[in-house]
Every structure is written in structure tokens, then in C-alpha cells.
Structure 1
Amino acid sequence: MRRPRVRLRRPRGAVEVVSACVVGAAVLVLAVRMVIRAATVLMDAWPVVLVLAVLAGGLAAWHITRSISARRRATERLATLRITVAELDVMDDRAFEEALGSLLVRDGWQARRVGGRGDQAADVLGEHAHLGRLVVQAKHTTVGGKVDSRVMYEVKGTAGPVHRARHAVVVTNGTFTRDAMRWGERHGVHWVDRERLRCWAATGVALHELLGLTARRGRFSRAA
């Protein structure tokens, strides 16, 4: 059964107007008394309120200090990050990509992993204040595995048009075919094989120093 709607109407006549004023005044007086009572309670309990405020402020400051210290320790650890090729060999594809991203961060890049289905030949993207954007295609393989020219073609085709990158790099813990290295050097796709990866990851040489990357005009720089 539908409930009837309750509708308010304006007071009619002097009696109803006076009654409404009395009710409104009573409500106002009650509200004022409640505010005064609350203020009185707070004034009586101000030492407790002060202690609680100090404790809350101290707890917040402790959390902030702890967070800042944790970030500083993480930054310091990352600045000295070293990963051996043997450690990279036993990683899966995702861990390998994340490791390359961490190495870029160590070198001063803002890097993020983007690898996965539909990544369009980009596993890690890096941004550098002076060197621009870098796209990394990671090829984790068994020891002795070789990367062929097909990978170079794919990276060349998407680095500039799709990812707006100045630099394109293919990194593997294996090796490259001779044709792949030659094609990459000829068309501006840098390559990092097992030996270069060792220099970058294990000895601490920055990737842009290892490859001689510079910020040049164009979609992405050519090999040095």
C-alpha cells in the first residue's frame, strides 16, 4: 500500500504563526545549549584533547619520517645496483624486463615496464631530462641463444612512430646474429649483447654512456 506523502504548509492565522515562532525559538535555544555544553566539555577536557593531538601529530610525523627514510634507503640501494649476467640468466621474461627497468633508474632515467601482450616491440620505456625517450625491447633467451634481424625490423618500425622514442635498444642475455648487428648499426637500433649487458648490469656503466646516446633531433638517434 502506498504511503501518503506528508506535506508541510505555511502557518495560517496568528495562532499558528505564534506557535511556529515558539517552536523555532525552542529549537534554536536547544542548539545553542548543545554547542555551549560541547564547548564546556572540551574546555574541561582540554589536557586530554591536547595529549591526543600531540600523539596524533607525533604518529603522523613518525610515519612521514619512516617513509622518507625508506625511500632514501631504496634510492641508495638502487644507486649501487649490480646484477650479474648469471643472475639475469635464471630470471623469467618479466623479471628480466623489470631488472632492465631498475638498471635504467639507477642510471638516472625514469623507467617503467610496459611489456606484455600488444606491447608493440617495447618492454621498457625510459625518460631522461637531456636524452629524451628510450624504448627497450628485451629478449631473454637461453645461454648461447641468438637474436636475428627480425627483432631489429620490429623495433625500428615502432620506436619512433608508436612510442615517440629518440633511442631504440634491443637487449639480450644471449647474442645477435651478424646481420642483426649490422642492420641495427645501419638503421639506428642499438643492441646490447651478453658482453655489453655484463658491462651495464654488473660493472655499473650507464647504458647511455655504454652506447654513446645523445639527444638528437628526429624520431630516435642513430648509433654512435
Structure 2
Amino acid sequence: MSRRRPVRRTGRRRPVRRSRRQGEGVALLAAAVIGVTVVVAAVQWLLAHWWILVLAALIGAVGGGLWLQQKRQRAEWERVRAQALRLRIAQLDELDHRAFEFAVRDLMRRDGCQAEQLGGAGDNACDVRAVDPSGRVWAIQCKHRRDGERGAAVGVGVLQQVNGTARQIHGADIAVVLTNGRFTSKAIPWGKEHGIHLVDRRTLGEWAAGSRPLWDLLDRIPPPRRPTALS
């Protein structure tokens, strides 16, 4: 007699429990219902008390108007202060390098320019960038000397850095190297040859004293980009 092979009994699959998922779904639905109920109740309350919305709008308008007025007053005070800015060369000597850059920025603003201080790591040889009232872009590299004219003279190397970045990176029409000290004998002809304007101690002192804007003290300034009241 041949032996029969044992028959494997397949176990029944247990039903997947969905109670946990169903519980999460019910919780989400309940939260949504509560949220909608709260929103509807809030809207109904606001509609019943509409005067609160009007009052809030009036308070916001008055507050915004006062803030805007104060902002304009501060801007006007800053403009008047900048126009009255007068600095002696001895005051500039006493500054550190960063404060010297901000002083140059403020002097450009005094003369009606939009100016910003950029000096620091990665400034690409431009400490102050400005746009004058005629639309010309200025890139100014500042070199402060604590000992003034007795300090180290600014050499050709600084001018070469400015020449490589002022127009190409900063879009300058006028590239300037400015110092409260002096320039080397080689830097002066190099600057003229490559169109780099040099502002030495004498020119800086005259400009800071408020006699004339910087573009009136320099030679070979390009013409205005946009027409002015005098053109």
C-alpha cells in the first residue's frame, strides 16, 4: 500500500484591524467640525458687532498715518542734518577706518547722493558706492591713515585693485581712491592714465569742509547720465 502524503493545512488570514485608522479619521473629522464651528461663530459675532471692525480699521489707519508721518519727519531731519554736515580734516584723522568710510558715505549724502557703505570682507575694492544727482555711479575706495600725511602713502597696488573692480563689478562711471594721507609719486600718473580719480588730503579737507561737492573738485568727470535743472 502506498502512503498518502500529509496534506498541509493553510491557516486562515486574520482580518486587518482598522480600528486605529478609523479612530484617527474620526478625530480629524471632529477637529475639522470644531474648527468650522469656531470660524462660523466668530464670523457671526463680528457681523453682529460690526462696529468693532470699523473701530479697528480707524485705529489702524490713524496709527499707520502717524507712523508714516514720523518716518517722513525722521527722513527730513536726516536730510537737514546731512546738508549741514561739515568736517575738519583733523576730525577725520581721529576716526578709525570703518568710521572713516561712514563719514565719506555721509558726505556723499550731504551732496544729494544715494550712498551706501560697503567696506568689509568681500567688498571688491569699494568701500562706498553712490549715485549722484546726475545719475553717475561712484565707486570709492577709502584709505585711512591715522598719522595723516605722515602715514604710509597709497601706492599703485591699491589703484590696480580698484581699476579691476570699480567698473566691472560695481558698474561705476567714476572710480575714486580717497585718503586722508598722500599718494606715491608713481600712483598719481598711473591714476590719470587709467581713469582713477585720486582724492588726497588737501582735496578731502576742502570737500569735507562743505565748500563744493566732490565732482566739482575733480577733473575729467564724465557728463551726467540724466538731464539736470542746469542742463
TM-score normalised per structure 1: 0.73
Q: 2:159 aligns with which of 129, 152, 175?
A: 152
Report the AA paired with residue 136 of structure 1: I
Q: 2:117 aligns with which of 113, 117, 122?
A: 113
Aligned 1:128-139 pairs, distance under 5 A: 128=132, 130-139=134-143
Q: 2:90 aligns with which of 86, 90, 93?
A: 86
Separation in 2, partners of 1:176, 1:184: 10
**Secondary structure of 1:136's partner?**
strand
Partner of 2:222: 214
**Secondary structure of 1:81's partner?**
coil
Give the aligned length: 194
Aligned 1:20-169 pairs, distance under 5 A: 38-40=46-48, 42=49, 46=51, 53-128=57-132, 130-141=134-145, 142-143=147-148, 144-145=150-151, 146-169=153-176
**Secondary structure of 2:21's partner?**
coil
Report the AA paired with residue 210 of structure 1: L
Alpha-carbon distance change, 174 to 5 in structure 1, aligned in 2, over 3 angstroms: same
Query: Larger radius of gyration, structure 1 or 2?
Result: 2
For 1:122-173, what per-residue CA distance to the aligned partner results, in whole angstroms no more than 9, with x for missing partners? 1111223535221111000122222122222222222222322221111001
Greater CA drift, 150-159 or 197-206: 150-159
Separation in 1, partners of 2:54, 2:102: 48
Give the drift of 1:37.
Answer: 5.5
TM-score normalised per structure 2: 0.71
User: Percent identity, aligned pairs only?
Assistant: 35
In structure 2, runs of 5+ residues without a counterpart are 1-17, 27-35, 226-231
Give the drift of 1:108.
Answer: 2.2
Large movers: runs of 4+ above 6 Å: 30-34
Separation in 1, partners of 2:166, 2:39: 68
RMSD: 3.2
Alpha-carbon distance change, 5 to 157 in structure 1, aligned in 2, over 3 angstroms: same
Q: State whether structure 2 residue 17 is matched by structure 1 residue 4.
A: no
Q: Could you tell me whether the CA contact under 8 Å between 1:81 and 1:204 is conserved in 2?
A: no
In structure 1, runs of 5+ residues without a counterpart are 9-27, 218-224
